[in-house]
Every structure is written in structure tokens, then in C-alpha cells.
Chain A
Amino acid sequence: MKVSSPQFKEKSVIALADPRLRQALGQSRKGFVNKRAELVGALPEFEQLRDEARDLKNHVLDNLDHYLERYEAAVTAAGGHVHWARDAEEARSIILNICQRVNAKTITKGKSMVSEEIGLNDALEAKGYTVVETDLGEYIIQLAHEPPSHIIAPAIHKTKEQVSELFEAAHGGPRKTTVAELVTEARLVLRDKYFQADVGITGGNFLVAETGSSIIVTNEGNGDLTQTLARVHIVTSGIERIVPTLEDVALFLRILARSATGQETETYTTLSTGPRRPHDLDGPEEYHVVLVDNGRTKMLGGKFQDMLRCIRCGACMNHCPVYGAIGGHAYGWVYPGPMGSVLTPLFVGLDATYDLPNACTLNGRCESVCPVRIPLPELLRELRHMQHQQGIRPQGERRALGAWRFVAERPGLYQFANRLAARVLKGLGGSTGRIASLPFAGAWTDSRDMPAPEGKTFLELWQARSKP
């Protein structure tokens, strides 16, 4: 997928001025955040489960080679095929080869962020295949020719009226205006597609090494229809989505839906183990899993290994004030919000993604809700540090930091400068105590007043207080 992260600032400004986006994002804050808080509050075990999930993911990453080999052996024993892809191109070519070999025409898809990551739809369409997204949100944005703006609610930026317009244009009238009518229309249109499909492609929330099963966790049932009715089922998944045993699956089922959509559980959890068996009346004739690296092994063993614990629940973006203000498209690639601001620079490079680690107030809400306790603010700070080391950050900032360091290393000078600044700023504040415009701080004072200090530094006040 094309990276448009360099336009982050321009896109953010446009997003902030879009009333329909404001309306759509407002819904998300209420829905996901409140429901999660309610459920987590009612579950005394939740914090303990987060600790266990973090520890389990760390255990898997420490033994990733072993569990991948065990998983591959179990899939093969069940009659399935495992394919390994070092990068996006390799993953696409594996899938294109399968589609060509089975003489596919129509391809249905359940929601898969890895398929977005590897740019699968464009590659399939370029070869003339008909590709149909079946998750309602994915279907909506496919009609709109847009990328997802949220990893679990891809069309969260669309209002009902926008969906009505898209459906009317795609399906013909009469125009549907209620959510129930829109959902029914999509249900009927997509039903034919499931039965026509030659290949069904889904993601994988978890891959179970013990049993060789891939797992999808969904609400709509589209993923199940996709993988059951097509002749060939292809799973695309990142190599880090392995869990050792079914017991470990239980752990994640207790935290995933609560963190993601604020549901106790999603409606469907499905474990797929190999293709159709003798005497089965339905199910795919072939079962393939494409294990995608695409930059993940580079994160292993380094400062960003913690990010590989991510289970793609979306809690971090649901709770991020920056995401809440601008939505997902401004981030410019597949993964938005805090997890995206960490992953995108690592996957596509620091140069094209300068703004992402900086579009963060370090308020820490993302880390406080992450079910696998990824220290997202710390990772974003680390990326800023790398930007500094690689000389990507602006010259002005480098000079200002250099000057600050010079002063800060000289306590006498530092205290003098502080005393001076406190007095000058108090003077600028005048009788109101507020500064309407400040040189070098226009970004702050353009939209609000700066409160003026009271004229004395903390150290002065402290010393005055300490005197008998």
C-alpha cells in the first residue's frame, strides 16, 4: 500500500475541519471507550490477565522459531499447507500462484490487516480477479476506494448518510436510510458472492502451534462464510501471531473482545484445522497459511520487540486523543493511532514517517489500556530519539536543544536564565496574567493564551520557604 505519511500535517488539518468525520469519530469515543471501561471494571481478574498475556507473548517471542516449526508440522499433519513470505512481494506472489493454479475468478475476503499490509487487493485486481471484501466495514471502504481508518472498525470515519450514498451508487435504488436496511442490503448482495467464490482469504487472530489451527474472532460471520464456502481457503497472518496451546487461546479470548469492542466476547470464534475431510459435506478443498515476516524479525531482539506482542485490538487508538481528533487516514499507511505510529516507521522507514512518533502528547492512555502492556509512549520516545540520532529532526530544534544543554549544564547560568525568564514573562502577562502572543511559541499562542508565571522561580520560592 502507498505510504502517504509525509502528508500527515496537511491531512490532519483537513480532518479537523471535516464535520462528518467529527460526527463519526464522536460515536467511537462513546461506544468503544465506555463499554470497555464498564466490562473491565466488572472483571476483578482483568489486570492479572493482562500480566499473563504480556508474559505469554514474551515467552512466544523468545521461542518463536520453535513454535513456528511446531505449528507448521501440525498444519501439515492436518492436510494443510504452510507458506513462508519474507516480504510483501513474496506473500503476494504466493497467493497469486495459488489463485492461478486453481483457476480462480471470484475471491472473497474476510477482514485481514496483513492483507492490507501486503497490498493484496491491488495485486489481485491487477491480475483480473474479482475481489470482494465481505466484512461490512471493509465492504463499505472498498466501495469508497479508501483504505481502512481503524484496524477493527475500518469504516468508522463514515456516517450513515455516506454509506447510503455508496450503496445507492453500487447497488442501485431505492436509497436505504436506516442502519437495518443498509445491513440487510449488504447481506443479500454478499450472500451470492460467498457461494460464487473460488478462493476465500481471511486473516488469523491466532495460530495455535499445538493443533495447527488458525483462529478468526468476528461478529458478523462473514469470515466463516468466506472460508467455508470457497473451494480454497487462504489464511494470511504475521509470524508473531503464534500461541503455543489452546489454554493460551483461552487467555486471549478473555481479554481480546473486552479490549477491542468492549464486548464480553465477539459472536464467533472459529478454529480452522486443515481442509475438508473425507465424508464432510462442506468446507474448503484446500487450506493454505501464508506466514508473513515483512519486517517483524527485524524487530525481534531489539528495542522494539515489545511491539510484536500486539494482538491488533485497537484499544490504543480508541483511547488516543490525537486519533480521536483526526481519525486514521492522516497516519498515511495501514496501521493508525499509537500502534501504527510505532509500526509504520519501523515497516516503511523513519524518513517518510517523521510526524507519526511526534503526533503524541505522551499522555500514556494507550499504554494504560493495552491488553499486552506494550509501553507505547516509551517506544514513540525511542523513535524520536532515533530521528534525532539520524539527523532527521529539524535543524532549529537541534540548535535549540544544543543551547538548552549548554545552559542546563551550568547551574548558575541556568538559575539566572530562569529568574530572568520568570520576570520577563510576568511583565508580558501584565494585569491579566495571560500572554496572548509569544515569539517562538506561536504554535501555542495562536489558538490560546499562555498563562504567565508569577515572577519567581520554583527554586526561589523553595528557598524562601525553607528559611526559618
Chain B
Amino acid sequence: MTEARKAILGQIRRALGRGPLAAADAAVLDARRPTHTRIAFDDDLLARFVSRFESRSGTVVRIGSLLEVPAAVDAYRQQHGLPARAAIARPLAGLSWPADFVHHPGPAGKDEVLSVTACLAGIAEMGSLLLASGPDSPTTLNFVPDHHLIVLHATQIVRHFEDAWAILRACPGGMPRATNIVSGPSRTGDVELTLQLGAHGPRSVHVILVH
């Protein structure tokens, strides 16, 4: 379809009344790093993240160390009456999980009920989590199970989207294949605009916040 490409670019240039940009002008555009207005807030990053995330029915539990993650997951599981099995992202698989707890690194299958993953960052601005796909973090873990548990270290919380982009740009393999910014459980308003959680993605997104 090179013909269509040529035609569309040609039509754009005719409409703009010019030919292709000169190399110097193109270089200026490529170097452009705009600083748009950011949303100002006074509260500290952790408080902001938690209050915004909880405002959309996300839940948060605080623990003192990474070693407490299996206990926090097990408590959640029992509280919700879930079976002792989960898709657990590889970086967390090495923790001491209860002996009867069956787990695998993913991908999540159709009947997966529970997943536990790490994340790249928390974004305080609107209370969102930044997750990136990779062998250690299959994307299906973020969308298929009914319950998604995310381990977030308090030190991973950044202020604005722009701070999260810096983390993405520093990813070793370049931009991840799938970057998911998750701001709470799945929801829909498509029937009479009545808010209903658990449309297609997780019904519950639970942050295990490590201090």
C-alpha cells in the first residue's frame, strides 16, 4: 500500500502548502520535549496515591516488608473464600508461599481467579499503577483473573505521569510491548449509566503496599 501512503502524505503536504520538512526543521520537532501543565497537589505522594486509588474502589493493605506478601495474599484469599491457587509473577514466586498454595507464572487461563504481580510504579496524581509486560509480568495476569493483587513499594510512588514516562524510557528493552496504567477494578456504565464493577477485567484490584 505504498501508493496510498504516498497519496496521503502528498495530500497533507498540498493542504499545508509545503513539501517535506527540511532536515533541520524535522530535527527541531524530534528534539521537542514539551512541559505541559501538571496538576498541582500538596499532600504527600503516598497519601495522594492511596486516596485517589481508593476513590475508585481499589483497596490497599499496608505491610512492613516484602517477606509478608504471602501472608497478605493468603489473608485476602481466605477473606474472599478463594481456592489456594494463583498465577504469581516470577519475581514474587521465590517468596515463602504456604505449602498447599499452588502457583504458576502465567499466562492466566480462562478460569484463573487470582493473580499476584509486581509493578513498575505507582502514580500519585490520579492514584494509578504502572505495569509493563514481559516474561516476568504477562499481561493476562492484569486482566483475566477476578482478583488482581499488586505489590507496590512505597518508594515506587512517583508524582506525575511524566515521572512514570521516565521509568518507561529507562526500561532495558526500550518501550515495553504492553504498558498498562491501571486505576482500579474494571467497571462499566453501559446499562443506564449505572456504575457496575467487574465488567470484563478484575472485579477487585488490591494493592499490597510495602513500607
Interface residues of A (CB under 8 A from B): 24, 27-28, 31-32, 43-45, 48-49, 52, 56, 62-70, 78, 83-86, 90, 94, 134-137, 140, 153-156, 158-160, 163, 179-180, 182-184, 186-187, 190-192, 195, 211-213, 219-222, 224-225, 228-229, 239, 244-251, 253-254, 261, 264-277, 279-283, 291, 293, 297-298, 300-302
Question: Beyond A219-B187, A268-B183, is A84–B201 a contact (Cβ under 8 Å)?
Answer: no
Using known A-B contacts A267-B184, A267-B186, determine if residue A293 contacts B11 with beta carbons closer than 8 Å. yes
> Whole-angstrom distance between the alpha carbons of A273 and B134 in the complex?
12
> Chain B 50-87 against A: per-residue CB contact (8 Å), 1 yes, 0 no?
00100110000000000000000000000000000000
Chain A residues, Cβ within 8 Å of B4: 84-86, 90
Smallest CB-CB A-B distances: 10 pairs: A221-B201, A301-B15, A220-B199, A137-B190, A250-B161, A300-B15, A282-B107, A136-B190, A297-B11, A269-B181
Is A280 a contact of B135 with CB atoms below 8 Å? yes
Q: Give min CB distance, A152 to chain B, whole Å.
A: 10
- CA–CA, A187 to B20, complex, Å? 49
Nearest B-chain residue to A32, judged by Cβ:
B193
Cβ–Cβ < 8 Å partners of B169 in chain A: 246
Are B161 and A153 in contact, CB atoms less than 8 angstroms apart? Answer: no
Q: Tell me, rounded to whole Å, the shortest Cβ–Cβ distance linking A16 to chain B.
A: 20
Task: Give bound CA distance, A135 to B12, whole Å.
Answer: 33
Give the residues from 154 to 176 in chain B that come closer than 8 angstroms, CB to CB, to chain A.
160-162, 165, 168-169, 173-176
A219-B199, A280-B133 are known; give 19 further A-B pairs, CB within 8 A: A27-B192, A31-B189, A65-B13, A66-B20, A66-B21, A66-B29, A94-B1, A137-B190, A219-B187, A224-B201, A225-B144, A239-B8, A246-B161, A247-B35, A267-B182, A268-B183, A272-B178, A279-B134, A282-B106
- Per the bound structure, the CA–CA distance linking A165 and B139 in Å amounts to 35
Cβ-defined partner of A220 (8 Å) among B21, B135, B187: B187
In the assembled complex, the Cα of A225 lies from the Cα of B132 at a distance in Å of 15
B179: chain A residues within 8 A (beta carbon): 213, 270-271, 273
**Contact (Cβ within 8 A) B187 A300:** no
Give 18 CB contacts A-B under 8 Å: A70-B30, A86-B4, A94-B1, A155-B191, A183-B188, A183-B198, A184-B198, A221-B186, A222-B201, A225-B201, A245-B34, A251-B34, A265-B126, A269-B181, A273-B175, A280-B134, A281-B107, A283-B133
